[in-house]
Amino acid sequence: MVKVFWQHPAMTDGHLQTFCAPPPYQLYWINSSIEERGPISPSTILSRVNWNEERRGPEQTTIVMASIMQNANRLRKALHSHSGVSFGAWQMLPGSNLSRTIARTGYDWVCVDCEHGNIADDQMHESVAAIASCGVSPIVRIAANEGWMVKRALDSGAHGIVVPLLYTAEDARKLVQSAKFPPLGQRGYGSPFSMGAFGGPSGLDYLQHANETLVTIVQIETREAFENVSTGADGREGC
């Protein structure tokens, strides 16, 4: 069991509140009167936050859930912390047991390669769930900038996607439309699987916080794309 401590910056009333990524990580919740050892589900965390909602305000619940999801995405956490170091692995062969074996070797993320790897759609779903169950971020490289491929990867619970062969700003805008829920994009909602990769937030919580939690990465692979990269697209996470 790996213990992960994380102090939420919004908690400024003198109590130390700590949260972490999904199991197998261990969560510590500590304040002046209780000390509990995990794993503790996000619903338990929220019940603890809500015990004094009049003092904290209902907006604290939203802040905490957003931070839980963002903290679970280890690739996003590394990118936004500017730590400069994030270790990941590449999976090109199918199998959830293989996914778990790779994830348990100490990586921050594992990329399930559906572009050049021999991994079909159903196998991708199984690998994403297996990687997330180890507290590691599942990333999916899709085969092309197609909306249905983006949807399938994110609906499986992927913490991010890698999209090959973008050429123009219009390609990037098309990708944002597929990858983001309204108002940033037009991603449809309906998957019962995506929440499980973040420790089990509600469907509403996932819908509200996915846009700022998921990572969208584009590959710049041609001269045309390189010349157009400065034009970009609103909502792009990184490239």
Q: Which residues are catalytic?
A: 116
The 3-state DSSP class for residue 82 equals coil
Taking each helix axis from N to C end, the angle separating 74-81 and 59-72, rounded to the nearest 10 degrees, works out to 100
CA–CA distance, 100 with 127 (Å, rounded to integer): 8
- With the C-alpha atoms ordered 20, 22, 130, 147, is the resulting torsion angle positive or negative? negative
DSSP state of 26: E
* Contact status, residue 194 vs residue 206, Cβ threshold 8 Å: yes
